Structure 1
Amino acid sequence: MAASSGITLTSGMRANLYSLQNTNSLLERTQKRLATGQRVQSAVDDPVNYFTALGHRQRSQDLASRKDEMSESVQLISAANEGVESITALIASAKSLAQSALSASTTTEINTLYSQYKEVLNQIDQVGEDSGYKGVNLLDSTAITHTVKFDENGDSLLTITGFDAAAQGATLSLSTHGTNAWVSAGGTADKAEINSAISKLDGARSALRTEAQKLSTNLSTITIRQDFTKGMINTLEDGAAELTNADMNEEGANMLMLQTRQSLGTTSLSLASQSAQSVLRLF
């Protein structure tokens, strides 16, 4: 500054000025840390900590997206499970109708029960068709699969396979016949045919329980991974904070000390300039 302006400072003034400039720089940095709560705000402050924290936060954001995807997968399985529970209730209703037909005494009564039985099977089909979530229906067929990705790269995953929940599909294997399917040649209840229907209903119920168990296992796995991912997100965020956040108590103490130093530096510079001012007394 002296060379460019042609002004010559005494060594004492120069030393005090330099000290005051450093104090003001530290004071500005401390004020910024107190305002933002961070001691590392850019790569200039600390390249290693800055980029390490940035990596932690980026991974945390990726995992947060995966966590949202897992939440959607949970809803998909819940929708399928709702369908399974409703179909199970409909199978119980169909079985009750078949059992009533065994003791029915007239052809009209038997045919009425069978007609109601077929309607229940039709409702099973409709429930299966309505059990989708966001365009994916796990009760549609075994060709339907849904992949849940757990890690940020998608290397850790779970594939969920659907099943055919239609009444006459591969899983339930329920069948219907003609109008008088439960009526024997003599006009009474065809117990062999009705018992066969009851047996198939029992088999369908068992098959549904097996599929429900698979859904439950998948749901449990996803829920566990959700909790794990939530913990990892918190760990990464805490790690990034430890690398970049400022200690507010320490910075507050620094602020008080720097303000005191600034005041003393101003006073010291004023005292150092008095020797130069004494020259004026000669005139």
Structure 2
Amino acid sequence: MAITLTAGMRSNLYALQNTTNMMETTQKRLASGKKVNTALDDPVNFFKSKDHYDRAEDLSAKKDGMNEAIKVIEAANTGIEGIYDLLDQMKSLASAAKTSSNTSDLANQFDTVRSQIAKMARDSGYGGQNLLNSDSLSVEFNEDGTNTLSVSGTTATTQGSIAGVSVQAANFSTNTDIEASISDIDDAVTNLRTEAQKLASNLSTIQIRADFTTQMANTLNTGADNLTLADMNEEGANMLMLQTRQSLGTTSLSMSSQAAQAVLQLF
């Protein structure tokens, strides 16, 4: 036999069911922290936020490449600084030879230090890339790879050459020969400084772009959050209100049922 509800009971039951559905939605928002969890909740904001999140993730991946490029440049710069020190040591040995009677020993020391420059240049790589061994970098800044920066390396040493200057083995026969060696060393230092300035400029550019990328990713993530995140204070207040409404609805439904039972008692 079908059960027939009174109009009052049906109205109260519908209101109670609606309140229960709203509570489930609010509970989901409180649990996830989001007001938009799927495209069914709000298709426009859902897909907008997804685009923002995806772009932020792509930019973060590019930043990893920028950070690696920074380390490659820093490694090359460290190598240049070390070569500076070795050249300075060679210059000191050559200068000492001008007033020393022990030029043979000073010449041997000079050549020993000179041989270390090539080794230092070879050891100045990072991650398989060495800007002091004529390698180059291509750094991507945006998500589709259309904005890049090319960093050209240099050949720090070749056979008998340092930074493009012929710095030969020690020849301390005369002061003229010694002065020629010192002059070659000074020219090599000048060329290295030019390369160091280029590296510093590129390094600064990449660091600026890396900072910009971090800020842009944060902006995109914040924008996406604004489209999807729930206001927890508001949702908490909603839950309290819905719980009160549910309690009143249950009481109202009970009262409607009691009124129907009282009518039946008349028969």
Same fold (TM over 0.5): yes
Q: Distance in 1 between matches of 2:249 and 2:119?
A: 85
Aligned residues: 266
Percent same amino acid among aligned pairs? 52
Maintained 8 Å contact 1:172/1:208: no
Q: Distance in 2 between matches of 1:226 and 1:18?
A: 56
The answer to whether the aligner puts 1:126 opposite 2:122 as a matched pair is no
Match among 210, 214, 219 for residue 230 of structure 1? 214
Corresponding position of 2:157 = 166
* Deviation per residue, 1:125-161 (Å, 9 max, x gap): 00000000011011012xx111111111111111111
Q: Distance in 2 between matches of 1:94 and 1:18?
A: 94
**Residue range with higher mean Cα deviation, 21-30 or 115-124:** 115-124
User: What runs of 5+ residues in structure 1 fail to find an aligned partner?
Assistant: 184-189
Match among 170, 190, 193 for residue 177 of structure 2? 193
Distance 1:135 1:75, change over 3 A: same
What are the within-5 Å matches in structure 2 for residues 212-227 of structure 1?
212-227=196-211
> 1:67 deviation in Å?
1.4
SS of corresponding position for 2:48: helix
Match among 154, 164, 167 for residue 175 of structure 1? 167
Maintained 8 Å contact 1:174/1:197: no
Q: Distance in 2 between matches of 1:207 and 1:175?
A: 13
Counterpart amino acid of residue 258 in structure 2: Q
SS of corresponding position for 1:65: helix
Distance 1:218 1:128, change over 3 A: same
Q: Distance in 2 between matches of 1:219 and 1:44?
A: 46
Counterpart amino acid of residue 29 in structure 1: T
Q: Distance in 1 between matches of 2:262 and 2:172?
A: 126
Corresponding position of 1:186 = none
User: What runs of 5+ residues in structure 2 fail to find an aligned partner?
Assistant: none
SS of corresponding position for 2:137: strand
Counterpart amino acid of residue 200 in structure 1: D
> 1:182 deviation in Å?
2.5
* Deviation per residue, 1:93-118 (Å, 9 max, x gap): 1111111122233xxx2222222111
SS of corresponding position for 1:273: helix
Corresponding position of 2:66 = 70
Counterpart amino acid of residue 127 in structure 1: M
TM-score (normalised: structure 2): 0.94
> 1:275 deviation in Å?
3.4
Q: Distance in 1 between matches of 2:226 and 2:266?
A: 61
TM-score (normalised: structure 1): 0.89
Maintained 8 Å contact 2:66/2:210: yes
**Residue range with higher mean Cα deviation, 16-25 or 269-278:** 269-278
SS of corresponding position for 1:148: strand
> 1:42 deviation in Å?
0.6
Q: Distance in 2 between matches of 1:275 and 1:79?
A: 87
Q: Distance in 2 between matches of 1:6 and 1:203?
A: 105
SS of corresponding position for 1:135: coil
Match among 266, 269, 279 for residue 250 of structure 2? 266
SS of corresponding position for 1:133: coil
